[in-house]
A and B are shown apart, each in its own frame.
Chain A
């Protein structure tokens, strides 16, 4: 994902509103929503609405919200809820400009429609890249503001007064003499009006809802068990399927003795796919037992990668340094700088493959009928989901119906559609709907993993130990080349792989950044929470820390000096983090503090870790401080939650996680051997958000990207040794 960190492109959006014209009215004003419908029903009704020609043009307003005859507002969310609180944030934006209480807004999921819902930062319809608030901050508010203006005008027309003498408040239009009309009463007339061309937005000082902590709309149903995730759905006649794919990527199914599974009580069907076998049962237990019964009789052709081991993969990555690759940036003359430098420092960093491991495993409900292919699935990429189902079912895309669902953890995994393809392929072979549920073992061993990266740096230093410049070479798989090959330029430069590296935060007069893509055998790679910055922030902040220590300077002071007069927001978060961490206060032996500061996803973050190490290599994190300037905040509660959870999510991986390969197979399978952070390991995260009037920055992945460098820099501060390869557990440390 190309996560351009600049502010959202408002002029284009303004044009979109303007161009939408009169035709929008009929869309904006929908009559079909009964009062306070439950969410699931709202979604159903939305998708049942017949295709209307007016739906086709790219119309920001009608695409995003509907006003019912009862005055109830429905946000049609272009982003799926997966814990980040985005749908509540969007509802707050709509409520703010429409002058309705948040309780008057409910949420429906947007169907796949790239014309209406492509993300202006990601350039496709997806939830990811911490882009949601950044890309929708203006268009959503403009849509709501336009609707408000039309509702006011409709009331003014009815009263035969000037709209200038009317205002909107609490879901009503109020006119001269305190006359009042509810939105529902004027909505039909408003639908006939022209959509206004210039829509002024509220000034931040006038916000009543944005910026104030709001309870998430989805949480009440998530504390009483009533919320439905994909895995919880039941459609009439549905059976449960589970699958086992060839343990080696690229392998195929040769033969299987189906009778062994059919003998298991509750098993209904055994399905053979090109690269997998699936068992359909009355319940998941039958499917699991059926798969176990097949285990011994399944014959695979493991293909080309059945003999691949981790050592071979890592050697191939090291060998790739000999290739030229693509130049991501070349400033000044780094070769000359290195030749003439007072001193030089070199370092190599390494980051492992990581599984996403969301607690809701891959799951998808699919039905392939003669007339349509219908899917109920939590997906971060609905258009890709539709394409995958179309291909697997043989149906044209317009016959594929996608009902997006709340997601029980994604972290990038549900940008992929492999499990959707598999569910559709299974459903195609039977005449009833199936719910495909992967076991945890299948989920861990058939993920698409965060790339294994190796980075090499060489810095030229002046007499004061400040860098005259540095060179950086990055080797790792290009996720973009697999995910969206058309988005990769001819030289193979993957903008994600070089993020935070190609244009480092620190101004350098000599810089060369080179990227050599190397796709590993036996492993597929994909987006993982934190994406480009997760890699870039780790290596750049680790290396700068090394330079600071080599110069015998304080790591905070060194960074501030290196920033010079650049990036005042970065300097501010760094200073505040140092202050909150009592950075200047000396620590006893065995303790250390580490820091990292970067711009990630359009936000500025500084993270400090303070830890203590005992004689047995036990590490206790004493303090974890995260300071963010993420621009204007919509829901402060969500921002804090994302920084707390995102930081710990990154910590879990930095401490424990690496996926390895043996005989072409992933060696880890479940939480017993792919350990995750637990409450007993989790330090409190102290979050501080700097007040800001800048455009919103991303926050869902920001904390995740910052923790590993702060942790590893703290390890150096406490031990005097550099640990350059993640995870920390590799170096023999454990958390106490």
Chain B
């Protein structure tokens, strides 16, 4: 039995130690905002925060997540920055199919936490791990910059 701290709530789960956090979130805890896309940390749709850092939950064994502070898309709007990023996503009408946007928003919040005055190079570096097959990149860039400027 492992104890996970997810969105400030302690939860006990009885799962294999090597099970990626992604599947614990989705299939055990029913938190489906975090998505599956590749399983090999290539696409970023599974991005969550561990102690404020963006991590790919599809390759993070649940045993490594235990004891750390995990934040998911379901709770990111409770932080001031998370709320601003979500709002910017709506104002810039970023979303197309929307499947990758949980991960994009989680990556963007982590980036803006660390680099509040992001420039294009920071965005290239911080967001390149998050694919969008609808290719909403122009608007993602615009939304992140608008939060940085605000």
Contacts and interface: CB of A to CB of B under 8 A. Distances in A.
Interface of A: 82-85, 213, 215-216, 218-220, 222-229, 231-232, 234, 240, 265-266, 282-285, 288, 357-361, 406-411, 437, 439-440, 637, 641-642, 644-649, 651-652, 670-672, 676-680, 682, 684-685
Nearest to B91: A215
Contacts of B89: 219, 223
A218 B99 CA distance: 12
Nearest to A642: B96
Contacts of A440: 37-40
A441 to B, nearest CB: 8
Q: Which 9 A-B pairs have the closest CB atoms?
A: A225-B33, A408-B99, A222-B98, A83-B97, A648-B135, A83-B96, A283-B27, A225-B73, A232-B32
B125 to A, nearest CB: 8
Contacts of A682: 135, 137-138
B69 interface: no
30 contacts: A83-B95, A83-B97, A215-B90, A215-B93, A219-B95, A223-B101, A223-B105, A224-B73, A240-B27, A265-B16, A282-B27, A283-B19, A283-B24, A285-B19, A288-B39, A357-B133, A358-B97, A359-B37, A359-B97, A359-B99, A359-B132, A361-B36, A411-B133, A644-B138, A645-B136, A671-B37, A671-B42, A678-B130, A682-B135, A682-B138
A218 B24 CA distance: 27
B138 A684 contact: yes
A225 B32 contact: yes
A222 B101 contact: yes
Given A223-B105, A679-B141, A645 B96 contact: yes
Contact of B90 (A219, A227, A232, A265): A219
Nearest to A282: B27
A216 B96 CA distance: 9
A359 B90 contact: no
A644 B128 contact: no
A618 B72 CA distance: 38
A227 B93 contact: no
Contact of A641 (B30, B40, B86, B96): B96
B91 to A, nearest CB: 9
A50 to B, nearest CB: 31
B100 interface: yes
A645 B135 contact: yes
Contacts of B77: 224
Of the listed residues A83, A216, A672, the one surrounded by the most CB atoms of chain B closer than 10 A to its CB is A83
Interface of B: 15-16, 19-20, 23-24, 26-28, 30-40, 42-43, 45, 72-74, 77, 86, 89-90, 93-102, 105, 123-125, 127-141
Contacts of B30: 234
A265 B27 CA distance: 15
Nearest to A677: B135
Contacts of B100: 359
A284 B137 contact: no
Given A229-B99, A671-B42, A671-B43, A284 B124 contact: no
Of the listed residues A82, A234, A284, A406, the one surrounded by the most CB atoms of chain B closer than 10 A to its CB is A284
A410 B128 CA distance: 22
Contact of B35 (A234, A265, A408, A685): A408
Contacts of A680: 124-125, 127-128
A347 to B, nearest CB: 29
Contacts of B101: 222-223
Nearest to B143: A223
Contacts of A232: 26, 32
A358 B133 contact: yes
A242 to B, nearest CB: 11
Given A83-B97, A231-B36, A679-B130, A283 B28 contact: yes
B133 A359 contact: yes
Given A224-B33, A284-B23, A408-B99, A266 B135 contact: no
A606 to B, nearest CB: 19
Given A676-B131, A678-B128, A226 B16 contact: no
Given A83-B98, A411-B133, A641-B136, A439 B39 contact: yes
B26 to A, nearest CB: 7
B95 A223 contact: yes
A190 B67 CA distance: 62
A699 B140 CA distance: 21
Of the listed residues A357, A439, A645, the one surrounded by the most CB atoms of chain B closer than 10 A to its CB is A645
